[in-house]
């Protein structure tokens, strides 16, 4: 407050000096004597004192109220800006925390996806292994069946060939007596089986 009063008084003295010096110049041009310049100077100082008194008496309170209002307005704006700054800082911290949380979440999701992928990969490998074993077993069975079929077919062919060879050679080897013996043996076996 004291510095404000000093500034106001200084401003008034500067203004008064300007007014007095300009009035003195005008008075010097129109003056007819020495006493007139002294009288003009005294009146200028009296007028200046009256103006200063009026301004201080009636302008002090409105000026001080205006300055206090400005001071309070500026203080309120500073508080408002500080609140906004704090709010922005809080939002910034919150955003940083959210970014950190999202990075952590992404990292954990990535790890889960990799683990799940590895499990699925192992599951696919195991399933492929089981299928390959099953396919090998099926192939072995098919091969064994084919071999058995070929063996049976080969046996039948051998039997047919042996039978054909026997049919060719037996009539020349077996005579009428051997034929009758075989027929008697067959009849005896048939009678015993009944």
Segment 35-62, tens digit of pLDDT: 888 888 889 889 988 888 888 888 778 8
Asked if the structure places residue 116 within a domain, the reply is yes
- Is the pTM for the entire model greater than 0.85? no
**pLDDT the model gives residue 82:** 93
Domain co-membership, 48 together with 139:
no
- Structure tokens belonging to residue 121: 């990969």
Domain co-membership, 27 together with 95:
no
Out of 14, 35, 63, a domain closes at: 63
Asked if the structure places residue 72 within a domain, the reply is no
Domain co-membership, 21 together with 99:
no
Query: Backbone phi, then psi, for 175, in 5-degree steps?
Result: -105, -170
DSSP secondary structure letter of residue 33: S
C-alpha to C-alpha distance for 176 and 165, rounded to whole angstroms:
20
Asked if the structure places residue 19 within a domain, the reply is yes
Domain co-membership, 85 together with 27:
no
Alpha-helical runs (H) found in the chain? 2-30, 34-173, 176-193
pLDDT digits (tens, 9 = 90+) for 18-27: 665 655 455 4
Domain co-membership, 50 together with 91:
no
- Parts of the chain with a pLDDT under 70: 1-33, 171, 194
Domain co-membership, 43 together with 107:
no
Asked if the structure places residue 21 within a domain, the reply is yes
**pLDDT the model gives residue 12:** 64
* Residue-number span of the structural domain to which 27 is assigned: 1-63
Domain co-membership, 110 together with 186:
yes
Domain co-membership, 138 together with 90:
yes
Asked if the structure places residue 74 within a domain, the reply is no
């Amino acid at each position: 407050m004291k510095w404000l009063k000093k500034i106001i008084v200084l401003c008034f003295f500067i203004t008064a000096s300007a007014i007095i010096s300009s009035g003195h110049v005008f008075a010097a041009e129109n003056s007819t004597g020495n006493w007139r310049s002294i009288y003009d100077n005294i009146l200028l100082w009296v007028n200046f004192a009256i103006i200063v008194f009026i301004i201080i008496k009636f302008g002090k309170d409105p000026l001080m109220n205006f300055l206090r209002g400005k001071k309070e307005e500026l203080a309120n704006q500073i508080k408002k800006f500080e609140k906004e700054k704090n709010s922005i800082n809080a939002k910034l911290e919150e955003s940083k925390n959210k970014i950190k949380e999202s990075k952590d979440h992404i990292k954990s999701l990535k790890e889960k996806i990799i683990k799940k992928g590895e499990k699925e990969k192992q599951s696919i490998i195991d399933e492929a292994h089981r299928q390959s074993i099953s396919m090998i077993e099926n192939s072995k069975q098919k091969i064994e069946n084919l071999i058995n079929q070929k063996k049976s077919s080969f046996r039948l062919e051998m039997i047919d060939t042996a039978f054909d060879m026997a049919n060719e050679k037996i009539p020349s080897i077996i005579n009428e007596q051997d034929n009758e013996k075989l027929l008697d043996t067959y009849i005896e076996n048939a009678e015993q089986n009944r």
